[in-house]
């Protein structure tokens, strides 16, 4: 059975993503992303499932800084539709609610219902943890914005369902492990994630990106990160459609390496079906 580490508590969106990716699993809830990644590095867990992007809130803070330092590799991805319910202790009415608590991202993704209710907000470390806190308080003046699974887990009553602002709200999760063996080239849709630092020569980044363009390789993401105290060295994180063994991808990577001082493949993994539907 695979042991899966994730940030958050049982009933969280991360726990749901872990269940979908690894149906036969034991769970290791962690208090932070660092702790989840360290659990794999220390062999306490086999894999860590981490959110990296949200369609409404954008990049999950700090995660991309942690990935290259963890020494782990992306082995799978999953796109999870995000749903939030407003929940409170049994018997609570909406008129009684004064405070709503949740993770800061969830509060930002449910602004409309919060404004309509005129409730004050309290920030919790985790969405499912907010539900647990409300259950422990047992106070009808406190409610939580949490994934639907958290209500049954903590004995709460759903006061209003599906209160997220965007019905298409989606979070992308990746699974990371020590497994350095890339997914084999089968012709199926594949993603490749990598970091690189360009050489300190004029137009190096332009030429790197031109290599992807001229070889017909689609970049689905590119982000830059300052490196070093001088703030003049940048590391780039990119995700491309295709497998390194595909001829056009191999040519693009060859050009990338020529103009880069460092290139590190972070993962080669099957593309989730959500990409094909987008």
Of 149, 105, 138, 137, nearest in space to 124 by CA: 105
Residue 258: the pLDDT is 93
CATH dotted code for 190-277: 3.30.70.260
Residue 228: the pLDDT is 60
3-state secondary structure of 184: coil
* pLDDT by residue, tens only, the chain of 278 residues: 899 999 999 999 999 999 999 999 999 999 988 999 999 999 999 999 999 888 876 777 566 667 777 889 999 999 999 999 999 999 999 999 999 999 988 998 999 999 999 999 999 988 999 999 999 999 999 999 999 999 999 999 999 999 999 999 899 999 999 987 888 899 899 999 999 998 888 888 999 999 999 999 999 999 887 766 555 567 899 999 999 999 999 999 999 999 999 999 999 999 999 987 76
Q: What is the rounded CA–CA span in Å between residue 133 and residue 130?
A: 5
Catalytic residues: 171, 173
Distance of CA 38 to the CA centre of its chain: 17
DSSP 169: -
Domain 2-80+170-177 part of CATH 3.40.190.10: yes
Residue 179: the pLDDT is 81
Q: What is the rounded CA–CA span in Å between residue 113 and residue 129?
A: 20
Q: What is the rounded CA–CA span in Å between residue 99 and residue 86?
A: 11
Q: Are 2-80+170-177 and 85-160 equal in CATH topology?
A: yes
Helix (H) or strand (E) holding 85: strand 85-88
Of 166, 127, 170, 167, nearest in space to 150 by CA: 127
Q: What is the rounded CA–CA span in Å between residue 182 and residue 245?
A: 10
Residues 6+ apart with CB under 8 A from 214: none
List the chain domain ranges: 2-80+170-177, 85-160, 190-277
CATH dotted code for 85-160: 3.40.190.10
Of 163, 180, 55, nearest in space to 112 by CA: 163
């Amino acid at each position: 059975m695979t042991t899966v580490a994730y940030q958050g508590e049982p009933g969280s969106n991360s726990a749901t993503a872990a269940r979908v990716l690894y149906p036969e699993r034991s769970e290791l809830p962690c208090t932070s992303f660092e702790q989840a990644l360290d659990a794999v590095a220390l062999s306490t867990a086999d894999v860590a499932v981490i959110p990296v992007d949200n369609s409404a809130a954008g990049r999950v803070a700090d995660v991309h800084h942690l990935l290259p330092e963890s020494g782990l590799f992306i082995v799978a991805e999953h796109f999870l539709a995000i749903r939030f319910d407003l929940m409170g202790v049994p018997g609570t009415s909406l008129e009684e609610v004064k405070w709503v608590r949740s993770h800061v991202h969830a509060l930002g993704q449910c602004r409309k219902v919060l404004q309509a209710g005129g409730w004050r907000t309290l920030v919790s470390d985790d969405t499912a943890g907010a539900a647990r806190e409300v259950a422990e308080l047992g106070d009808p003046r406190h409610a939580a914005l949490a994934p639907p699974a958290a209500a049954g887990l903590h004995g709460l009553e759903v006061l209003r369902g599906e209160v997220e602002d965007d019905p298409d709200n989606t979070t992308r999760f990746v699974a990371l492990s020590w497994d350095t063996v890339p997914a084999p080239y089968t012709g199926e849709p594949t993603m490749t994630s990598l970091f690189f630092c360009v050489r300190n020569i004029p137009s190096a980044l332009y030429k790197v990106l031109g290599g992807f363009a001229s070889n017909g390789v689609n970049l689905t993401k590119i982000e830059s990160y300052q490196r070093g105290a001088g703030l003049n060295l940048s590391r780039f994180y990119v995700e491309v459609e295709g497998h390194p063994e595909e001829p056009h991808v191999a040519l693009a990577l060859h050009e990338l390496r020529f103009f880069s001082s460092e290139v590190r493949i972070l993962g080669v993994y099957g593309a989730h079906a959500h990409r094909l539907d987008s």
